[in-house]
């Protein structure tokens, strides 16, 4: 891929995936390019340099890739929020609606201590359902969310408004119109 000055330029669009009429924003091309990946991680964590962050929470599955890298750069712990049945220990769960149906996410019940400052990271903000469910889990454990950071915002789907209505700060690197 040619050198680029924008994270957006590293993201490809796949038409009609996973369903007809969907324009899937594929971040694997961003992850595969060392310059693009580094740019994304640096831009995701930049607003939080110097802020107290105790842990980064990544939402399944691409949020693990981004969140792990951001946590490493911030020298803090990483916590995954996974689909139901994927975590081995004692968990708490939250159901939610996403753009293609319904799901349940879980977090270990001892992953976050009350009062810890949390940064939530994922690749894409669509309807906000997955992140909203993750926020509920974190808050049930007593975590205090500093912000929610995403590579991509799909503003037509309204996720930013959902999260902001929950009192969340939202940081995104780029936007794509449409579904």
Q: Residue ranges of the domains in the chain?
A: 51-175
C-alpha–C-alpha distance, residues 122 and 65, integer Å: 9
Closest CA to 101 of 125, 80, 81, 127: 127
C-alpha–C-alpha distance, residues 136 and 134, integer Å: 5
Average confidence (pLDDT) over 165-177: 97
> Under CATH, which architecture does the 51-175 domain have?
3-Layer(aba) Sandwich (3.40)
Q: What is the pLDDT of residues 32-85, one digit of tens each?
A: 999 999 999 999 999 999 999 999 999 999 999 999 999 999 999 999 999 999
Euclidean distance between the first and the last CA atom of the chain, given in angstroms as a whole number: 25
C-alpha–C-alpha distance, residues 18 and 118, integer Å: 31
The answer to whether residues 145 and 155 touch, using CB atoms and an 8 Å cutoff, is no
Q: What is the pLDDT of residues 117-149, one digit of tens each?
A: 999 999 999 999 999 999 999 999 999 999 999
Quick one: pLDDT band at residue 1, thresholds 50, 70, 90?
Answer: low
**Whole-structure pTM value:** 0.95
Closest CA to 73 of 143, 139, 121: 121
C-alpha–C-alpha distance, residues 150 and 66, integer Å: 9
Positions annotated as catalytic residues are 62, 99
Closest CA to 6 of 33, 148, 24, 47: 33
């Amino acid at each position: 891929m040619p050198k680029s000055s924008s994270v957006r330029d590293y993201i490809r669009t796949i038409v009609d995936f996973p369903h007809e009429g969907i324009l899937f924003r594929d971040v694997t091309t961003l992850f595969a390019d060392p310059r693009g990946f580094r740019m994304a991680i640096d831009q995701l964590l930049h607003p939080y340099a110097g802020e107290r962050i105790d842990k980064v929470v990544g939402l399944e599955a691409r949020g693990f890739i981004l969140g792990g890298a951001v946590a490493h750069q911030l020298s803090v712990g990483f916590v995954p929020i996974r689909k139901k049945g994927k975590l081995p220990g004692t968990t708490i769960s939250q159901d939610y609606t996403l753009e293609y149906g319904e799901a349940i996410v879980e977090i270990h019940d001892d992953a976050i201590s009350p009062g810890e400052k949390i940064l939530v990271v994922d690749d894409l903000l669509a309807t906000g359902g997955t992140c909203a469910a993750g926020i509920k889990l974190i808050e049930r454990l007593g975590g205090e969310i500093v912000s929610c950071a995403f590579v991509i915002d799909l503003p037509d789907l309204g996720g930013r408004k959902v999260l902001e209505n929950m009192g969340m700060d939202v940081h995104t690197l780029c936007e794509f119109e449409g579904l």
